[in-house]
Chains A and B, each alone.
Chain A
Amino acid sequence: MDLSLSDEQQLIVETVRRFVADEIVPLEADLDPDAGALAPDDFQRLVAKTKEMGFYGLDIPEEFGGPGLDTTTRALMAIEMSQHRAGLYNPCYGTFGGAGLAQLYEATEEQKEKYLYPTLRGEKRGCFALTEPSGGSDPARAIQTRGHEDGDQWVLNGSKLYISGADKADFALVFARTSDDPGRNGVTAFLVDTDTPGFNVRRVVHTLRSTHYATEISFDEMRVSKDQILGELNRGFAIANDRLSRQRIPYAAGCLGAAIKAQEMAIEWAKNRETFGGLLAEKQAVQWMIVDNEIDIRHARYCILEAAQKADRGERFRTEAAMAKLVASEASGRVVDRAMQIHGGLGMTKDLPLERWYRELRIRRVGEGPSEVQRLIMAREILGGSFK
């Protein structure tokens, strides 16, 4: 596998690296260590810059006006964009724009007019409501939110847990069981306006990610019309699988970015901090931690680029994307942990971004499918159909 970058990719990586160093990191120095947003003026100024750079709306497909980046270049950018304190969950504070929910690209033209295009213009935001109190790893079987048909409407009842941004969203993509099939062939995806009577945000759920909360929501006799179904009835899980696998690659790359920065910090500290009459960098125990970090970083980088290159060649990349997500989230957690150890007491403080990455990387091993589910995806592909 060729890991070298093309001239264009090199230029893009350097441009994003400069943007992070010159524009984001200095602003962050004045923000609270757990800040999740820039001041509105700074945000607008930087959005203007990313638009000027031609990078705004990175994940929007080219046919919808996005920059048309290949997956490899997108992953390389994600590695750079997360190299600051808030970078894991809020790379560059969203100044490169969002693409909305991946499933919306599969919507009807009418639904796109109502939800996708306003999202791309920054006028609406959506949330993704899949996980329920009964479980998120295996949603096809766990979903208990129930829809029953009533004339030309569906009436939904049930609840969802850990839903990010439901309290601020204008619409939600809600998955509900609409037939007696206990598995994936009984689930339908609905696009629901959050001001629909019966859509209720029940509570804020506080997590390790103390910058942003999740929510618990309920649907109480919530009526939605039939044209709010996204895709086909009872085929909610078939939507946008390819796009979802593809998303795991920048997700993994974001983890790696934090690890790379943590390693840089650990090396710098080890070369300057003295204990027992010598630099930390001279102690074999510290050297080994730094070497182990490097092994983790290179392993994750390899997996991410392998997945991205396969996706770009149009080959099947489900196993590779799952592996990239698994390896990068776990390896990056170890790297940040070792970097904290090398920094001693300072590593535990909010003076450095390490403690925030440590907390947030822990979530990355569960979010977007826990490590065990990524292993399951790979096992199915490696062992073949009869072991599903």
Chain B
Amino acid sequence: MAGIRMTKPWVALSPDSIDALPAQLGVYQIANAANEVTKIGYAGGREAFGIRTALQRELDEGGVSFRAELTHGYMTRFEELLMIHMHDHNALPPGNQDHAQKVGRLMIDGANATPNTEASS
């Protein structure tokens, strides 16, 4: 189904690009210099300044670039992004290896991906 992948262009993670975002709830992907997704995250209801706070933490931890979506349904969208990544790569991003919940199975573009896989914890 079209529209479920996050396809926005990558933006360099910097104090300025973070400041340009509204302090809202949402989801994001972090990429390395090769534009490979290294982490999928969300800015939930406990972040002081929503996605800005979450991305500042990612910048502090060495994130290179990001793309983000603002949404109140950050939990389910976060899980959906994990499912898509699992579909495409048969593994979770390196930064999500501690994800403790089972990741669901999704058919995308007519292709069934991995069988149900218990994420490593």
Residues of A bordering B, CB below 8 Å: 32-37, 39-40, 167-168, 170, 194-195, 200-204, 206-207, 210-213, 215, 350
**List of A residues within 8 angstroms of B116 by Cβ:** 167-168, 170, 194-195
Nearest Cβ on chain B to A225's Cβ, whole angstroms? 20
What's the minimum C-beta distance from B17 to chain A, rounded to whole angstroms? Answer: 24
CA A207 to CA B101, docked complex, whole Å: 20
28 residue pairs of the A-B complex, CB under 8 angstroms, read A32-B45, A32-B75, A33-B44, A34-B44, A36-B75, A37-B100, A39-B100, A167-B83, A167-B116, A168-B103, A170-B116, A194-B116, A195-B115, A195-B116, A200-B112, A202-B1, A202-B106, A203-B1, A204-B79, A204-B106, A206-B73, A210-B73, A210-B74, A210-B75, A210-B76, A213-B79, A213-B80, A350-B46
Known contacts: A36-B75, A170-B116, A206-B77. The answer to whether A201 contacts B46 by CB under 8 A is no
Q: Given the known A-B contacts A167-B105, A204-B106, A350-B45, are A211 and B100 also in contact in the complex, defined by CB atoms under 8 Å? A: no
Interface residues of B in 66-119 (CB under 8 A from A): 72-77, 79-80, 83, 100-107, 112, 115-116
Separation in Å of the A203 CB from the closest CB of chain B? 5
Besides A33-B44, A194-B116, A204-B104, 4 other A-B contacts (C-beta < 8 A): A32-B45, A203-B106, A204-B80, A212-B75
**Taking A203-B1, A204-B76, A213-B79 as contacts, is the C-beta distance between A168 and B102 under 8 angstroms?**
yes
Contacts from B to A (Cβ < 8 Å): 1, 4, 44-46, 72-77, 79-80, 83, 100-107, 112, 115-116, 121
Q: How far is the CB of B48 from chain A (nearest CB, A)?
A: 12
Q: Among the listed B74, B75, B107, which residue makes an inter-chain contact with A201, where contact means beta carbons less than 8 Å apart?
A: B107
* Cross-chain contact B4 with A167 (CB below 8 angstroms): no
Contact A32 B46 (CB under 8 A): yes
In the assembled complex, the Cα of A206 lies from the Cα of B80 at a distance in Å of 9
How many angstroms between the C-alpha atoms of A213 and B80 in the bound complex? 9
Q: Which of B76, B106, B121 contacts A206 (CB 8 A)?
A: B76
A170 to B117, CA, bound (A): 11
Q: Which residues of A contact B115 (CB under 8 A)?
A: 195
A212 to B79, CA, bound (A): 9
A residues near B76, Cβ cutoff 8 Å: 204, 206-207, 210-213
Q: Which residues of B contact A195 (CB under 8 A)?
A: 115-116
Q: How far is the CB of A65 from chain B (nearest CB, A)?
A: 25
Give the distance to chain B from A167, nearest Cβ to Cβ, in Å: 3
Q: Chain B CB within 10 Å — which of A35, A37, A40, A168 has the most?
A: A168
Q: How far is the CB of B107 from chain A (nearest CB, A)?
A: 4
Q: Which residues of A contact B121 (CB under 8 A)?
A: 40
Shortest CB distance A88–B (Å): 15
